[in-house]
Amino acid sequence: WARRSTRPVLSDRTGLSDRRGMQADVIVTVDWSAASRPKLGADSIWVYEWPAGTLTNLSTRAAAERVVLDTILAHERSRVLVGCDVSFGYPAGTAANAGLLGDHAAEPPWLAMWRHLAAEMADDGRNVNSRFEVAAALNRRFGKPRFWGAPHSAGSQWLPRTKPPIERELRGSAA
């Protein structure tokens, strides 16, 4: 970040800005949570809005989505930058290795992955969700675990509780 007056400006080093820099009038940061039940405090969802200086603790992802959307809509004539600590992408080849391209081979692989997750993932207003089932099903498609980190109650052959050993590929070897 570089600063100009009181507005944060993304420096030109990002490759995302024009020569003047991309200025944000409002910045919303979201510390997301994967909690499987409503929860406040530690391991819950926090939303901060700058320059208002408001910090909001929310107990559910549904409530956080509403707060972030309402904040964006409240500033519809401003430049709003939203930052979330969630994964928006996967390694190259993930959609193809999971067999998700199929009839949509012309669309970008990331869109095939997002379509799959949108169709398979359930997440209700009380934070009950199917993320472990979806991860296990993807691992079955891969033929080996690529996702891990399940709690004891959700761990299985297809969704280990801990990171599996790294497979070493021998490239250019006769072995």
76 vs 99: CA distance, rounded Å: 39
42 vs 57: CA distance, rounded Å: 10
Q: What is the three-state SS of the chain? A: CEEECCEEEECHHHCCCCCCCEECCEEEEEECCCCCCCCCCCCCEEEEEECCCEEEEECCHHHHHHHHHHHHHHCCCCCEEEEECCCCCCCCCHHHHCCCCHHHCCCCHHHHHHHHHHHHCCECCCCCECHHHHHHHHHHHHCCCCCCCCCCCCCECCECCCCCCCCCCCCCCCC
What's the mean pLDDT when you consider all of the chain? Answer: 83
Tens-place pLDDT, residues 118-157: 999 999 999 999 999 999 999 999 999 999 988 888 889 9
Q: pLDDT at residue 5 above 80?
A: no
List of residues 6+ apart from 119 with CB closer than 8 A = none
Tens-place pLDDT, residues 28-73: 999 988 788 999 998 899 999 999 999 999 999 999 999 999 999 9
Prediction pTM value:
0.72
